[in-house]
A and B are shown apart, each in its own frame.
Chain A
């Protein structure tokens, strides 16, 4: 089976930094996505890592280690609007009957407090 684990909830103060970890054990790997999802809304694309290392996009950074089956999303200078669920998703390899579908973790609810 496919296992993608991330913490259920994290709380941090406005202005602080939070790191959301994601570990995965899947039958193959073709990239890892992070999405942000506010309550009642659709997921919004944040990052896509296919090679090892850190990718930075403004206040958000994402890291990948394929050998360790590990990724993290780093949120800096937290703002109240960052309160949301953050979804880690692994893209599985293409097969004859499946095109690289995404397998999602359960999501991490980040609560930003004043």
Chain B
């Protein structure tokens, strides 16, 4: 299985600021995803990070609020912009192979608290 690391592991931020979360994988993967898990909730997909092109966002998530980069097959970043307390959540990077039948793994997550 792929080994996924995320930085930072946790942060406390002030309202109105932005935070960039990094996701690094130890091997090349086809697909990288960003999920959010709000307190007491299940996981919600924010977007699919596409290598070399713009990310594909899910309904309710927009690029201006959650810009994503994916410069290569092992790295991606998610920025949470102009934060508000409602953005307090765990943000998880997830990776999968190709072909539609590969297992999908999650990184350790970034715990964000916005004051």
Show the binding face of A for B, using Cβ within 8 Å. Answer: 30-31, 33, 35, 40-45, 48, 50, 87, 89, 91, 93-94, 97-102, 104-107
Contact = CB atoms under 8 A, between A and B. Distances in A.
B contact patch SS: strand
A45 B109 contact: no
Contact of A100 (B44, B100, B108): B100
B48 A43 contact: no
A41 B105 contact: no
Nearest to B93: A42
A contact patch SS: loop
B75 interface: no
Contacts of B108: 41-42
B56 interface: yes
Contacts of A31: 101
